[in-house]
Amino acid sequence: MKIAVFPGSFDPITKGHVELVLRAVPLFDKIIVAIGVNSQKKYLFSLEQRLAWLEEVFKNEANVEVAHFQGLTAHYCQEVGAEYLLRGLRNASDFDYEKTISQLNNIVGEGLETIFLISEPQYSHFSSTIVREIIKGGADPSPFLPKGVIIPK
């Protein structure tokens, strides 16, 4: 069974993330969209809120599961029997960052392979960071958010 983990903070999930997962669905038997919890990191939205959004967005996708984990992504993949990591590439700076992480994960994860999909052009400027700035600035983030993701007032 080909299982991929799509790890991220999803703070919050954007249309860019969803587009990536849906394009990857035909490539794997199962995709686990997993929120990596880092106790040192400050998030804008609670883990419960971010998980609820993921559940809502992928509720009709039979082969997509939603989860969260602590610790190293590579260890989590071993725990759930995933031999693949899914990541998105928007630009050259994503590439530089992802290249190093993927090489490390390949060692720590004992052969764990990262599969990259290049983001679609209409979403390549979407990021959770930008969405958080828009929310903090009091503008409407809905053009960036999937249906079902409503930001609490």
Active site residues: 17, 41, 90, 128
CB of 90 to ligand ADP, least distance (A): 5
Q: Within 94-153, which residues bind ligand ADP (CB under 6 A)? A: 94, 119, 123, 126-128
Tokens of 104: 């490390």
φ, ψ (nearest 5 deg) of residue 66: -120, 135
CB of 80 to ligand ADP, least distance (A): 17
Residue for token pair 């989590």: 76
Determine which residue in the list 32, 54, 88, 109 makes contact with ligand ADP, applying CB under 6 A: 88
Number of residues interacting with ligand ADP: please give it, by CB under 6 A: 16
The number of C-alpha atoms within 13 Å of 119 and in the hemisphere containing its C-beta is 21
CB of 67 to ligand ADP, least distance (A): 14
Query: Which 8-state DSSP code applies to residue 139?
Result: -
Q: Which residues pair with 116 in a beta bridge?
A: 87
State the virtual CA torsion across 114, 148, 54, 152 in degrees, nearest 10.
120
- CA 101 to chain CA centroid, nearest Å: 15
Tokens of 66: 């939603």
Residue 31 makes contact with ligand ADP by CB under 6 A: no
CB of 109 to ligand ADP, least distance (A): 16
Residue 16 makes contact with ligand ADP by CB under 6 A: yes
Tokens of 16: 């860019």
Determine which residue in the list 5, 17, 28, 57 makes contact with ligand ADP, applying CB under 6 A: 17
Contacting residues toward ligand ADP, per CB under 6 A = 8-10, 14, 16-17, 20, 87-88, 90, 94, 119, 123, 126-128
